[in-house]
Amino acid sequence: MAQRWAGIKVEGGKAKLVVITFDDDDSVQVDDDHTINMQNGSDRPSAYKMMYQTVLNYLREHNVDFVAIRGSETNRAGTTLAHLEAAELRGIVIAAASAAVKEVKILKKASMSRTFGKRKVDEYLEDDDFWDKKLDSNGIRKGSREAALLVFAARK
């Protein structure tokens, strides 16, 4: 039975989603490459509520079975307000995904580099040949590659 996965990377005030179907014959089809922006001009709680509902509806409407989300990580530059607000938004997206699908996996970039393949995540993201082969020329935007890589790493 085919499985439909979504990879989600939250950054700043947006969530990048890539929906991929894995058929029984091991073929891979990119169904959607979409960005959901947080609502501007309103207070944060209202914008979070809107983001929650939008992500929940999106995953249900696209019949997604599983979700892989990039987890929060520390950085060497220190924690800023933007970093904390992105973590808040990530929590909203995780809650919406958990309400919409069978299973949600949270993957950190550092652990993906250790467990997926033999290269670092950034090397995969820059490798056009890897993406051409992996997705059978059903490409996605370069900025959405990490969301797709989350799916491949979660399925491994």
Phi-psi region of 54 (alpha: psi -120 to 50; beta: other; left: phi over 0): alpha
Give all domains of the chain, ordered by start, each with its CATH number: 3-155 (3.30.420.10)
Find the farthest-apart pair of alpha carbons in the chain and give their distance in angstroms, rounded. Answer: 47
Query: pTM value?
Result: 0.92
Q: What angle do CA 46, 50, 56 make, to 5 degrees?
A: 145
Contact in structure between 146 and 121 (CB atoms under 8 Å): yes
Instruction: Dump pLDDT digits (tens) for 31-88.
Output: 999 999 998 877 899 999 999 999 999 999 999 999 999 998 877 777 888 888 899 9
Instruction: Dump pLDDT digits (tens) for 90-140.
Output: 999 999 999 999 999 999 988 888 888 889 999 999 998 888 888 865 678
